[in-house]
Amino acid sequence: MNDFGVVSDSRPIMVSGVYRSGTTFLTALLGAHPKLKASSSTVKFLRFCLGRYGDVREPENRRRLVAETHKRVKVRWGLSIDEEAILARAESRGDVTYARLYDVIMKDMLTDVGDDSQRWVEKLAVQWEDIPHFLDMFPQGRVIHIFRDPRDVAASYKNMTFEPGFTYLDAAFNFRGAHETLDRLSNQYSDRIMIVKAEEVAQAPEKAARAICRFLDLDYQASMIDARQLHSEGEDWASNTSYDKPYRQLPDAAPRWPQQLSRAEVIFIEMVTQPYFERLGYQSANYFPSPEEWSEVYGFIGDPLLRERFIGWLSHGRGAQGYRTDPYTHEMRIVFPERYAND
């Protein structure tokens, strides 16, 4: 059990996954259900709040948490929360904990006051190692983790990231790290974590939506596969694409990587992600590397980040969770530039 508190009367949902894997689309699909209210990369409580404000039983600490969260969502997304109402509701339930603050913040931002039938959804990519914290804080909570072919993840990331060099190939280590973590959690939380594949959602959206509803104990609603009704606060799923114009219909399942990646890039990704790549049903390109391609593969780990990841993989057989640029510092610099003025 964690030290962050427990909220037993709430049934939230966490959407987890690697960047560029369909997390934003999946969150908007959930948000189209009338019983769910979804947020995509806004509060990000597990990353920006959990454990960072000391003992939140102290009034000044919880006030700072709520005030800074409000400023972040306001600056980044134009969203507002009622700070005083949140604090009052948290305090009215007895001891104030991180779990309680998380719940009342999300409900204030997303749900209709007094409607306990509505459940909140928060998407937070690249935070799967904190899934146990989420599920322990919310005994009735659920997690949906989405996987996508890591070659397509890398190809999409390559097209839109601001990160330098071969950072997009880190998708291979993140794919591996996510799968390893989900494997470890499968026994303890087997009935509370659902794994979906982006390709299967795209190929058969109604079938996927019905399966998700069964997992969440909800009745299926056709609105979940109506592109016009998909919605979440924060990121816009329709424009969150690195290829075409904004989506006007549900995404297709066509692979993009054959046109976007070199043979050496494909070899590198498939090498790092096995055996999990095959376990999820992805088919190898079966490229046999030439001497020149081996040299190109070796060149990738000249990148300091990939070299660190590669050594970690060789030493411990494990993948990774994380971005090249620390997302906490990156966002806090935008929202609170005065704190970094002397850096």
243: tokens are 């290829």
Pairing relation of β-strands 119-123 and 233-234?
Answer: unpaired
- The residue-averaged pLDDT of 57-68 equals 98
Q: Are 137 and 4 contacting, i.e. CB atoms less than 8 angstroms apart?
A: yes
% of the chain exceeding 90 in pLDDT: 87
Report the Cα 73 to chain-centroid distance in Å: 17
In a domain, 259, yes or no: yes
State residue 112's pLDDT score. Answer: 79
State residue 242's pLDDT score. Answer: 58
In a domain, 62, yes or no: no
43-53 per-position pLDDT tens digit: 999 999 999 99
Report the Cα 149 to chain-centroid distance in Å: 16
74: tokens are 């306001």
- CATH code, 220: 3.40.50.300
125-143 per-position pLDDT tens digit: 999 999 999 999 999 999 9
- The residue-averaged pLDDT of 218-237 equals 94
250-266 per-position pLDDT tens digit: 888 889 999 999 999 99
- The residue-averaged pLDDT of 282-290 equals 95
13: tokens are 């949902």
Whole-angstrom distance, CA of residue 236 vs CA of residue 55: 35
Helix (H), strand (E) at residue 230: none
In a domain, 158, yes or no: yes
Confidence of residue 93 (pLDDT cuts 50, 70, 90): confident
Strand segments (E) across 150-252: 193-197, 233-234
Whole-angstrom distance, CA of residue 214 vs CA of residue 228: 23
Q: Are 183 and 280 contacting, i.e. CB atoms less than 8 angstroms apart?
A: no
Q: Which residues of 192-215 are buried (b: 16+ CB within 10 A; e: fewer)?
A: bbbbbbbbbbbeebeebbbbbbeb
Report the Cα 285 to chain-centroid distance in Å: 27
Short-list 36, 40, 43, CA closest to 27:
40
Domain count, the chain: 1
Q: Which residues contact 254 (CB under 8 A, 6 or more apart)?
A: none
- The residue-averaged pLDDT of 48-62 equals 97
- The residue-averaged pLDDT of 140-166 equals 93
β-partners of residue 151 are none
State residue 251's pLDDT score. Answer: 83
In a domain, 312, yes or no: yes
Measured CA distances, 41 to 126, 260, 291 (Å): 11, 27, 43
In a domain, 292, yes or no: yes
Q: Are 334 and 191 contacting, i.e. CB atoms less than 8 angstroms apart?
A: no
Q: Looking at residue 67, what DSSP letter applies?
A: H
Helix (H), strand (E) at residue 71: helix 59-77
Helix (H), strand (E) at residue 300: helix 291-300
Confidence of residue 248 (pLDDT cuts 50, 70, 90): confident
Q: Are 256 and 243 contacting, i.e. CB atoms less than 8 angstroms apart?
A: yes
Q: Is the pLDDT of residue 245 over 70?
A: no
174-205 per-position pLDDT tens digit: 999 999 999 999 889 989 999 999 999 999 99
Q: Is the pLDDT of residue 243 over 80?
A: no
Whole-angstrom distance, CA of residue 80 vs CA of residue 233: 11
275 prior amide bond cis, ω within 30: yes
The whole-chain average pLDDT of the chain stands at 94
Q: Are 86 and 104 contacting, i.e. CB atoms less than 8 angstroms apart?
A: yes
Q: Is the pLDDT of residue 1 over 60?
A: no
In a domain, 170, yes or no: yes
Q: Are 35 and 18 contacting, i.e. CB atoms less than 8 angstroms apart?
A: no
Structural domain including 22 reads: 13-41+124-225+252-338
In a domain, 315, yes or no: yes
In a domain, 144, yes or no: yes
Q: Which residue has the tokens 């990704």?
A: 269
